Amino acid sequence: MTSNGTTSKDAGGGPISVWKFGGTSVADHDRMRAVATRMVDQHRSGRRVVAVLSAMGKFSDELIDMAYKQSSRPQLRELDALLSVGEQISCALAAMAVEELGVPAVSFNGEQAGIRTDDQFGNARLIGVNPEQITAALEQGRIVLVTGFQGVSPLGDTTTLGRGGSDASAVAVAAGLGLGECEIFTDVAGVFTADPRVVPGARRLDTLRHSEMLEMAEAGAGVLQPRSVELAAAHGIDIHLRSSFTDAPGTWIRGSGAGSAAPGAETAGVTGIAHRNQDTLYSASGVSPAKLLRALASRGAAIGTLQVSDSAGAPVLFTAPGVEPAEVTGALAELDAAVSVHDDLGSVSVIAAGIARKPAVAAAALSALEAAGIDAEMVTTMPGRLTVHVNAADVHDAVRLLHTLFIEG
């Protein structure tokens, strides 16, 4: 990999820009046209453009609804085949829009783009990227549109990378091309200290470490898929997260030296507050944690929080963010496990490096919630975040309270 990211060159010509556009950025004809215009302007400035696109608007959710109307537990292979259609539509339409503006373009699905995965349908892991066709098209002077969220298994089946997987696709393509950065365009201006729709006074962060962004993403900040951040850290890819509706700079997610701590200091304070409006808590009895994890993995489901009691026979408590409850209960039903679903909970997380070694921060957070009459149903401490499950109706109040305490205060 080169160190100068999108300004690197190869034998085919000028610098390469790898961009990703989310569903809201290509939600309708006007937005698609605006994205096409941005790509054409970049191309005419002397840069070659590879753009990874998500499905338009909420189209993927519509496809999921269709699937679950046909089957209570659709076959994952067929579900992947269905869900991959949305990104192909986006890329084909974007290629048409670019051609209409006078620049040649070509759309590639995951297989054509050389995105290789394992055969874990629904949550496939990336094996590598062979960008041969992408490079050839760039050398022909074309703008390249790549379907996000998908790849191809060793047997040639279409696979998907989990919810938000287009972010991982963009980072993987950038790594495959030997670049050191990529830009992810979305409907927000960057990463904020909290969701600005909940906390109007939240401020945009200019830069974050990969580790800080990963904690934010794992805790519910929906601006980036957690796996994409892991991939970026592993391959030394800097991510510029910015709005597709303006030319303003956004937030840079960089390597370990990119944080906001003062020179010589261990870390900065609290980075931000993240939340999930709904974070279903499951309680499973009659099954070991190992069997539980294997059963969920077989359906492409990833665990969020897992708590096991020392008491014999006590239930295993866990969350599975982004996974349909029917998938969770169905997978465990095959093990004859008794499962109860608590779907009236959400979660709020305080993000701070080394928070597990800072008991005063955790104590202050829990004391503030208690004083406000917000009951903590479950508390989980990890090295980079404190997560508290609360009643879903209290989530936004908890976010504002903790933001005032740790960020504004």
Is the same domain home to 153 and 298?
Answer: no
Is the same domain home to 37 and 176?
Answer: yes
The SS3 assignment for 388 reads strand
Residue found under tokens 């401490």: 381
Residue found under tokens 């069997």: 291
Could you tell me if 352 and 361 are in contact, meaning their C-beta atoms sit under 8 angstroms apart? yes
Could you tell me if 42 and 107 are in contact, meaning their C-beta atoms sit under 8 angstroms apart? no
Q: What is the pLDDT of residue 174?
A: 97
In which region does residue 7 sit, left (phi positive, over 0), alpha (psi from -120 to 50) or beta (all else)? alpha
Residue 370 lies in a domain: no
Residue 254 lies in a domain: no
The domain boundary residue, chosen from 187, 214, 246: 187
Question: Range of 24's domain?
Answer: 5-187
Residue 104 lies in a domain: yes
Is the same domain home to 182 and 298?
Answer: no
Is the same domain home to 71 and 175?
Answer: yes
Is the same domain home to 160 and 303?
Answer: no
Strand partners, 209: 254
Is the same domain home to 285 and 182?
Answer: no
Is the same domain home to 313 and 164?
Answer: no
Task: Check which CATH number belongs to the domain holding 334 and give it.
Answer: 3.30.2130.10
Please choose, from the candidates 323, 205, 318, 208, the residue with its C-alpha nearest in 3D space to the C-alpha of residue 254.
208
Residue 197 lies in a domain: no
Is the same domain home to 172 and 57?
Answer: yes
Is the same domain home to 45 and 173?
Answer: yes
DSSP track, 26-65: GSSHHHHHHHHHHHHHHHHTT-EEEEEEPPSTTHHHHHHH
Is the same domain home to 161 and 291?
Answer: no
Q: Which residues contact 406 (CB under 8 A, 6 or more apart)?
A: 269, 270, 273, 350, 352, 361, 364, 365
Strand partners, 284: 316, 339
Q: What is the pLDDT of residue 259?
A: 53
The domain boundary residue, chosen from 141, 164, 187: 187
Global pTM reads 0.87
Do β-strands 16-21 and 48-53 pair in parallel, antiparallel, or remain unpaired? parallel
Task: Check which CATH number belongs to the domain holding 121 and give it.
Answer: 3.40.1160.10
Taking the chain (409 residues) in runs of 10, the rounded mean pLDDT of each run is 37 83 94 97 96 95 93 91 96 98 97 96 93 97 97 97 92 97 94 95 95 93 92 96 93 74 56 94 88 83 80 81 81 83 93 87 94 93 92 97 93
Is the same domain home to 316 and 172?
Answer: no
Residue 304 lies in a domain: yes
Could you tell me if 304 and 349 are in contact, meaning their C-beta atoms sit under 8 angstroms apart? no
Could you tell me if 119 and 112 are in contact, meaning their C-beta atoms sit under 8 angstroms apart? no
Do β-strands 306-307 and 345-351 pair in parallel, antiparallel, or remain unpaired? unpaired
* Cα separation values, 119 from 80, 104, 116, 302, Å: 11, 34, 10, 16
Q: What is the CA radius of gyration of the chain?
A: 22
**φ, ψ for residue 307, nearest 5 deg:** -130, 130
The domain boundary residue, chosen from 171, 187, 203: 187
Amino acid identity, position 321: P
Q: Cα(188)–Cα(201) distance, rounded to whole angstroms?
A: 15
What's the distance, Cα to Cα, between the start and end of the chain in Å?
A: 42
Q: How many domains does the chain have?
A: 2
Residue 396 lies in a domain: no
Residue 353 lies in a domain: no
Residue 286 lies in a domain: yes
Residue 93 has which token pair?
A: 């339409």
Is the same domain home to 176 and 300?
Answer: no
Q: What is the pLDDT of residue 272?
A: 95
Could you tell me if 187 and 242 are in contact, meaning their C-beta atoms sit under 8 angstroms apart? no
